[in-house]
Amino acid sequence: MKLHKASAAAAAALVLSLTATACGGDSDSGDGGGKKITVGIKYDQPGLGLKTPDGKFTGFDVDVATYVAKQLGYEAKDITFKQAPSAERENLIKNGDVKFVVASYSINDKRKAEVDFAGPYFLAHQDLLVRADDNSITKATDLNSKKLCSVTGSTSAQNVKEKLAPKADLLQQGGYSECLTGLENKSVDALTTDNSILAGYAAQKEHQGKFKLVGLSLSDENYGIGLKKGDKDLQTKINAALKKMVDDGSWEKYVKANFGPANYKNEPAPKITEGS
């Protein structure tokens, strides 16, 4: 009996070895097929990255992360999603807590000093969300006399304070949900971030009819996949996965599934520029 078990174990090990060899190189970044991978996403962004009450994960970034991980040799069951708040994304990557981050992560020079990116895989624009009955905010400068909410560490907050409305009363919260609560109870007048994120919130059943997007394009936000600085091998593999995702129609499918209900008019898939 013991010999039979040992033989079975040896056979299983051989199969695993052959599988790893077959999928090594092109399909993973050195971690090997069958092992686990940890990916950073947002937990509080409907339409992009949301952890539902039953513990599932939904959204465009979740779909992209799952697709990319599969191209690296990991099935959905091998993925552990880790919460990646805006202010913590660089630390999670640098400390090795995650393999990569897919979390409405805009590529900019300040971040590229600390981490590398693959992509971009999506182009959004900064906009404002206001209460549906509020017509006092129609342009960015209107915020100078208003209470504005955004998320700590986001490019949107910096953009407003430095360029658009330096006299705005800016409140920075840990997550967009807190900003939305403030907007609903009138403790803030507007929420600013990417239009994709705002559309996701406005489209939720419990929020329909309460809020509206002002319809501004205050910035171009190219979403990239953040990874450890200098990991050119992983960057190349993720870029290849992103290109394949667009070419095989998966990108368009994910956009329609996650943003379609909000009538969000997305930009075409952007050209991959990082690592080239």
Q: What gap in Å lies between CA 32 and CA 1, rounded to an integer?
A: 31
* pLDDT at residue 131, as a whole number: 95
| Structure token digits, residue 7 | 């033989």
CATH number for 162: 3.40.190.10
Chain segment 238-255, per-residue pLDDT in tens: 999 999 999 999 999 999
Chain segment 156-171, per-residue pLDDT in tens: 888 888 999 999 999 9
* pLDDT at residue 258, as a whole number: 86
The residue range of the domain holding 240 is: 36-123+222-262
Q: Specify whether 111 is located in the same domain as 144.
A: no
Q: Specify whether 96 is located in the same domain as 153.
A: no
Residue 253 lies in a domain: yes
- Tally of domains within the chain: 2
Residue 274 lies in a domain: no
Q: Specify whether 190 is located in the same domain as 232.
A: no
Lowest mean pLDDT among 18-22, 87-91, 216-220: 18-22
Average pLDDT over residues 75-88: 96
Residue 13 lies in a domain: no
The angle subtended at Cα 273 by Cα 267 and Cα 274, nearest 5°, is 120
3-state secondary structure of 256: helix
CA-derived radius of gyration, the chain: 21
Q: Specify whether 174 is located in the same domain as 247.
A: no
Q: Specify whether 195 is located in the same domain as 67.
A: no
Chain segment 42-56, per-residue pLDDT in tens: 998 888 999 999 999
Give 87-106 as a DSSP string: GGHHHHHHTTS-SEE-SS-B
Query: Bridge-partner residues for 191, per DSSP?
Result: 129, 149
Q: What gap in Å lies between CA 184 and CA 159, rounded to an integer?
A: 23
